[in-house]
A and B are shown apart, each in its own frame.
Chain A
Amino acid sequence: MNKDQIKKEIEETSQVISKLNDETEFNNSVLKIIKDLGLDKANSGKSSPKIEDKVARQAEL
């Protein structure tokens, strides 16, 4: 492999790894789920701490 080929390969590798680490699309998907389920801060009044306590006790068992 000559120097130009190596340089090209290293550049392509860098691009692939950058894309692999790009979290934008994933984060948007998660944020949409949060919103769809009404769990975001705008809907925080709907929470039920009692249910969370019950679930936490179950998780400890």
Chain B
Amino acid sequence: MSFTADIQDNSIFKVLMLDANIIIPYLDKKHADTKETEEELKRLREIGISFYYSQPCFLELLNYWRIKWLFNACILLKKNVPHLHKKFYGIVSNAETEFHNGDRNKYLYDHEVKQIRSLLSSRPELWARLITTLNGKMASLIADLTKINVIYAKFNSEIYPLTDKDNWPKWERAYQFIERYGLASNDAAILNMAIYPTIDGFVSNDGDMEFAVKQGAYETTKFFGL
């Protein structure tokens, strides 16, 4: 991944919309792409570029962090609690190895989280108590993003309106992205929110997104990715 050179050479880029797969490695020091992403974004910040993210992107961030913290709890259970079912240790060990090796981009898949919750249900209160450790973490995430000047793109913002009200995002365009390019619904929603005159470019590390852009979903000269 290297998008800074293209952007640095062109003064028209001032405001970039970031995909979740860029913000996640920027924030999560354990992610395989963290160092590279940090360096790229740091270079862009140095030349005065602003970063924005949209609501569907934020939902992905919340889910990533929910699972990250639950996974941390599972690692501690694996190390400190004997005699849980062997399947629990197997799921956690496998996920730990694959994430560490860069073979998966999330700590646990949703079906694994559900399976772990079931496997831990023999221990009354355990899952419910573990959930309490998430308290406050989701709200603080958006605050932390604001502190580091990665800004939530509010369409009704008085400070930086992305577009006038008549041109706010419409679901119809997201439907078209799904129907024409086979994008996942969350990807379609994220791309939909990157298409505004006030957004100079969109940065994503997603192969599906790149495919859609090459097929005409977004201006190729404004897309930066793989």
Give residues in A with beta carbon < 8 Å to B.
1, 6, 9-10, 12-13, 16-21, 23, 26-27, 29-31, 33-34, 36-37, 39-41, 44, 47-49, 51-56, 58-59
When chains A and B are docked, how far (Å) is the Cα of A36 from the Cα of B77? 13
Determine if B129 and A33 form an interchain contact, defined as CB atoms under 8 angstroms apart. yes
Please pick, from B28, B126, B149, the residue contacting A39 in the complex, using a CB distance under 8 A.
B126
Interface of B is mostly: helix
Is B29 part of the contact surface with A, judged by Cβ < 8 Å? yes
Given the complex, which residues of B lie within 8 Å of A26, measured CB to CB? 69, 72-73, 133
Interface size class of B (residues with CB under 8 A): 35 or more
Q: Which segment, of B80-88, B163-171, B187-195, B216-224, faces chain A?
A: B80-88
Q: Is the CB of A59 within 8 A of B48?
A: no
Contact: B84 with A52, CB < 8 Å? yes
A52 touches B83 (CB 8 A): yes
B147 / chain A contacts, CB cutoff of 8 Å: 12-13, 16
Shortest distance from the beta carbon of B167 to any chain A beta carbon, whole Å = 29
> Which residue in B118, B133, B141 is a CB contact (below 8 Å) of A59?
B118
- Give chain B residues whose Cβ lies under 8 Å from the Cβ of A27: 72, 76
Contact of B45 among A6, A37, A47, A49 (CB under 8 A): A6
Shortest CB-to-CB span from B127 to chain A, Å, is 10
Contact of A55 among B42, B69, B85, B148 (CB under 8 A): B85
At the interface, is chain A mostly helix, strand, loop or mixed?
Answer: helix
Given that A26-B69, A51-B122 are known contacts, is A16 also in contact with B144, CB under 8 Å in the complex? yes
Residues of B within 8 A of A (CB): 26-30, 42, 45-46, 48, 69, 72-73, 76-77, 80-85, 87, 115, 118-119, 121-123, 125-126, 129-130, 132-133, 141, 144, 147-149
What distance in Å separates the Cβ of B84 from its nearest Cβ neighbour in chain A?
A: 6
7 pairs from A and B in contact (CB 8 Å cutoff): A12-B148, A17-B27, A17-B29, A26-B73, A27-B72, A31-B76, A37-B123
A14 CB to nearest chain B CB (Å): 9
Residues in B whose Cβ lies below 8 Å from that of A44? 82-83
How long is the Cα–Cα vector from A13 to B150 in the complex, in angstroms? 10
Q: Please, which residue of chain B has its CB at the minimum distance from the CB of A40?
A: B80
Contact (A31, B72) CB under 8 Å given A37-B129, A53-B85, A55-B118: no
A56 touches B45 (CB 8 A): no
Judging by beta carbons under 8 Å apart, are A52 and B85 in contact?
yes
Closest to B146 in A: A16
List the 7 closest A-B pairs by CB distance, nearest first. Answer: A47-B83, A59-B118, A52-B85, A13-B148, A55-B122, A44-B82, A51-B122
